[in-house]
Amino acid sequence: MNEAKIAAKRWWYIMPIVFITYSLAYLDRANFSFASAAGINEDLGVTKGISSLLGALFFLGYFFFQIPGAIYAERRSVKKLIFWSLIVWGGCASLTGVVSNIPMLAAIRFVLGVVEAAVMPAMLIYISNWFTKSERSRANTFLILGNPVTVLWMSVVSGYLIHAFGWREMFIIEGIPAVIWAFCWWVLVKDKPSQATWLSNEEKAALEAQLQKEQEGIKAVRNYGEAFRSRNVILLCIQYFAWSIGVYGFVLWLPSILRSGMEMGMVEAGWLSAGPYLAATVAMIVVSWLSDKMQNRKLFVWPLLLIGALAFLGSYLVGANHFWVSYGLLVVAGAAMYAPYGPFFAIIPEMLPRNVAGGAMALINSMGALGSFFGSWFVGYLNGATGTPAASYMFMAIALLVSVVLTLVVKPTPRQPHAQAA
């Protein structure tokens, strides 16, 4: 079997589907930041404190339903789970455009979090079913690239849609693609290589043999309870919680932070908001390639998070009177926070056997959701209470420094060459 040929087939067939799906999920959670900057609060009578809570409610729903979704994806079907999730989250996203009161908006934001909760762990499980250890960081990165690339184009498109129509129409228009894509997903996706019609029997057997061989070197773990209590999983949960505080405090409030620093319209805020995500896209591709090349995951996580922390600290020290210097540092912070995602999510399936890795990734991601909830709420609160983003910069810098320390204390799991995973 020509390994280069089968590798190319998988990358060209699977990764565009994975990328588009996660892009649509991220579109429908990140566009709320533009509605916040464009007047949704004034139109619905939302105070600054309630606004930050509404922005964060998504992550509360996201937190509670990560693990059930991952267990279903691991034991039943990623294909079915994502199909129904696409339809429901697209519908909820469009419904945000017709809300008339705060309770309705709060309910939709929470439900949106619930239905999108399974997307990240399910897609990581899907990737682990199709890509080997030497490919996984890059594959994870192409999944997570849906995040900054979506915000990159969404920042520009949302700015124009709000300028031309309004925030309601923006939500309605941007929710529709997820529903349409659900049916494309159903036709295109197979859960495992053995079900694929575009691979020969020889190619399927060779790929599954390689994936099974990788499991043999991982220490057996009986069940989810044992995996969840392991030292490394606990440390990675806390690490990802702290990391996500910085990321989502940044994502949800960047347009508002920019508009508070300099007078500008929504179109200008959209273009400037795209800058950090363009840098992040380039950084993620380079870092994931190096991580797979060197097979050293931690080396491509903690130094970058440290750079992000220092960039936020720099923005704090520069102050509001030097807008362009502060903006440049925010571009660096955004790129540094996003770049380590691929290597980070390659750590877990290389540390735990397949029977529990998906659940562990869901637990870690759910703690990230909790950090996202806290970060997006508290950054919004600090911005409203102080009237400047300075305190937010310091808060996000401290959170990233905590994640750096926790990454450093994670130890590799001892490998057992003769152990066979359950």
pLDDT(64) > 60: yes
Show the tokens assigned to 227: 């995996």
Residue-range definition of the domain harbouring residue 304? 3-213+224-409
Cβ neighbors of 267 (< 8 A, separation 6 or more) are 159, 160, 163
* Domains held by the chain: number: 1
pLDDT(89) > 80: yes
The span from the CA of 366 to the CA of 60, in Å, is: 9
Q: How many CB atoms lie under 10 A from the CB of residue 362?
A: 28
pLDDT(43) > 50: yes
How distant, in Å, are the alpha carbons of 111, 133, 255 from that of 119? 14, 21, 26
Most confident region among 84-88, 164-168, 323-327 by mean pLDDT: 84-88
pLDDT(190) > 70: yes
DSSP letter at 229 equals T
Mean pLDDT of the chain: 83
- Which of these ranges, 94-98, 142-146, 216-220, 404-408, has the smallest mean pLDDT? 216-220
The span from the CA of 240 to the CA of 222, in Å, is: 24
Residue with tokens 């508002």: 256
Q: Is residue 164 assigned to a domain?
A: yes
Q: Is residue 420 assigned to a domain?
A: no
pLDDT of res. 420: 40
Q: Is residue 148 assigned to a domain?
A: yes
How distant, in Å, are the alpha carbons of 69, 136, 186, 208 from that of 195? 22, 21, 14, 12
pLDDT(364) > 60: yes
How distant, in Å, are the alpha carbons of 161, 171, 222, 252 from that of 245? 29, 25, 32, 11
pLDDT(417) > 60: no
pLDDT of res. 80: 94
At 268-323, the pLDDT tens digits run 776 777 788 888 889 999 999 999 888 888 889 999 999 999 988 887 787 666 77
Q: How far is CA 250 from the centre of its chain?
A: 13
pLDDT of res. 2: 47
* Average pLDDT, integer, range 119-127: 88
Consecutive H or E run containing 384: helix 354-386
Predicted TM-score (pTM) of this structure: 0.76
- Which of these ranges, 167-176, 269-278, 339-348, 404-413, has the smallest mean pLDDT? 269-278
The CATH number of whichever domain residue 377 belongs to comes to 1.20.1250.20
pLDDT of res. 4: 52
The amino acid at residue 105 is L
The span from the CA of 284 to the CA of 137, in Å, is: 10
pLDDT of res. 257: 62
**What sign has the CA pseudo-torsion 336, 338, 341, 342?**
negative
Q: Is residue 29 assigned to a domain?
A: yes
* Average pLDDT, integer, range 98-126: 87
* Average pLDDT, integer, range 127-134: 86
pLDDT(418) > 50: no
Q: Is residue 414 assigned to a domain?
A: no
**What sign has the CA pseudo-torsion 79, 81, 84, 88?**
negative
pLDDT band at 155 (very low <50, low <70, confident <90, very high): confident
pLDDT of res. 307: 95
pLDDT of res. 261: 54
Q: Is residue 81 assigned to a domain?
A: yes
Cβ neighbors of 280 (< 8 A, separation 6 or more) are 148, 334, 335, 337, 338, 339
Q: Is residue 421 assigned to a domain?
A: no
At 238-251, the pLDDT tens digits run 999 999 988 877 76
The span from the CA of 249 to the CA of 377, in Å, is: 8
pLDDT of res. 310: 93
The span from the CA of 251 to the CA of 31, in Å, is: 10
Q: Is residue 238 assigned to a domain?
A: yes
